[in-house]
Amino acid sequence: MSPETILIVGPNGKTGCRVESRLKAAGVSTRGVSRATTPAFDWQNPQTWARAMEGTQAAYLTYHPDLSVPQAETHIRRFCTMARRSGLEHVVLLSGRGEDGATRAERALRDSGLDWNIVQASWFAQNFSENFMLDSIINGELVVPAGTSAEPFIDADDIADVAVATLVEPALRNRQFELTGPRPMTFAECMEEISAAVGYSVRLNEVPMKRYVATLREQGLPEHFVSLLQTLFTDLFDGRSAHTAHGVRAALGRPATDFSVYARRVAVSGVWNRTNAKHA
């Protein structure tokens, strides 16, 4: 039986919105919380946490800005301590592969005494359609740092399906699921798939890291986000995460969604449609 109320930390994020909509569709009560909700939840303000989790029995956590930042471990550990005191019994944590900070945060959850799941995901395919890369795709050129290795991009819908399964199926508790797409792909290969799906050419422009950072700043991205991307590209796209994993099949009994399926689905949705884009 699923918990009475599930806390969703980050209900407007790529996975949080999908997890919450799936749970609601299944008749599960949810409480999505962020800095803008009532009650509010702010990772940087622990005084907001207790009220947000009051009366909930399980939680899906996404950490902002990223589990790689130094304070993430302390925050996850403190959240779990507070959760136990409040009666919250089960925490599902969205994590990333190959990040030292994420590994420390995962350990804090495992050691908490709560029932737990870790959903450890590769880079989201949706970064091309629901993030800062969207305008670049529409404009026909994606700039990335030179020297990036292949990545088995994961569909955020697969992440949400796995997260929901861990939240509502007790037999899946206390397990880590490493989620990737079914094949490693370079950014160039991704652009080829997207070009084929949208019907116009999207080229890849690989530049030195210094030039990449300058491009992000020219786009007006916040400095903390620029710094985070620089760290992630430096640390994660060095080949350590190029291998595939089979967590989607382990949790759901089906294969992960291929990037080509994702690209065709997004193209049909019109997100990459130049005629409707403000920057076309």
Number of domains forming the structure of the chain: 2
**b/e burial code for range 147-162 (CB count within 10 A of at least 16 → b):** ebebbbbbbbbbbbbb
- Asked, for residue 48, whether it belongs to a domain, the answer is yes
DSSP single-letter state for residue 21: H
- Residue 255 is given by DSSP the state P
Question: Is 164 inside any structural domain?
Answer: no
Rounded to 5 degrees, φ, ψ at 47 are -65, -15
Q: Considering the entire predicted model, what is its pTM?
A: 0.94
Residues 53 and 130 in one domain: no
Task: Give which of 201, 200, 193, 203 is closest to 264, Cα–Cα.
Answer: 193
97 and 128 assigned to the same domain? no
Residues 116, 141 share a domain: no
> Which long-range contacts (C-beta less than 8 Å, at least 24 apart) are formed by 131-136?
131/14, 132/216, 132/219, 132/221, 132/225, 134/271, 134/272, 135/219, 135/277, 135/279
* Boundary (domain end) residue, out of 77, 102, 121: 121
Per-residue DSSP letters for 190-220?
HHHHHHHHHSS--EEEEE-HHHHHHHHHHTT
Measured from the Cβ of residue 47, the count of other Cβ atoms closer than 10 Å reads: 8
Q: Walk along the chain (280 residues) and give the pLDDT tens digit of each residue.
A: 445 899 999 999 999 999 999 999 999 999 999 999 999 999 999 999 999 999 999 999 999 989 988 999 999 999 999 999 999 999 999 999 878 899 999 999 999 999 999 999 999 999 999 988 999 999 999 999 999 999 999 999 999 999 999 999 999 999 999 999 999 999 999 999 999 999 999 999 999 999 999 999 998 989 988 998 998 888 778 888 899 999 999 999 999 999 999 999 999 999 999 975 544 3
Same domain, 92 and 230: no
Q: Which two tokens stand for residue 212?
A: 């990449």
One-letter amino acid at 70 equals P
DSSP SS3 for 260: helix
Tell whether 53 and 148 lie within a shared domain.
no
Give residue 208's region: left, alpha or beta (phi > 0; psi -120 to 50). beta
CA–CA dist 132, 200 (Å, integer): 19
Q: Which of 78, 104, 121 is the last residue of a domain?
A: 121
Q: Is residue 249 part of a domain?
A: no
Residue 141 inside a domain? The answer is: yes
Same domain? 116 vs 128: no
Q: Are residues 113 and 14 in the same domain?
A: yes
* Distance (Å, whole) CA 105 – CA 242: 22
Residue 145 placed within a domain = yes
Here the CATH number for the domain that contains residue 206 is: 3.90.25.10
Instruction: Please indicate, yes or no, whether residues 129 and 237 belong to a single structural domain of this protein.
Output: yes
109 plus 135 within the same structural domain: no
CATH of the domain at 75: 3.40.50.720
Q: Are residues 37 and 129 in the same domain?
A: no
Per the structure, the complete domain to which residue 26 belongs is given by: 5-121
